[in-house]
Amino acid sequence: MSGWLIALIVICLVLIVWSLISTSSILKEKASTNKELDADIPDEVKKRPYLFNPILVVYVVFFVALAAITIFYVFR
Q: What is the 3-state secondary structure (H, E, C) of 10-70?
A: HHHHHHHHHHHHHHHHHHHHHHHHCCCCCCCCCHHHHHCCCCCCHHHHHHHHHHHHHHHHH
* Region 13-25 average pLDDT: 86
pLDDT above 90 covers a percentage of the chain that reads 9
What pLDDT sits at residue 2? 83
pTM of the model: 0.45
Query: Confidence class of residue 9 from pLDDT cuts 50, 70 and 90?
Result: confident
Chain segment 49-74, per-residue pLDDT in tens: 777 677 878 888 999 998 999 898 88
Each domain of the chain, given as residue ranges in start order, spans 1-37, 40-76
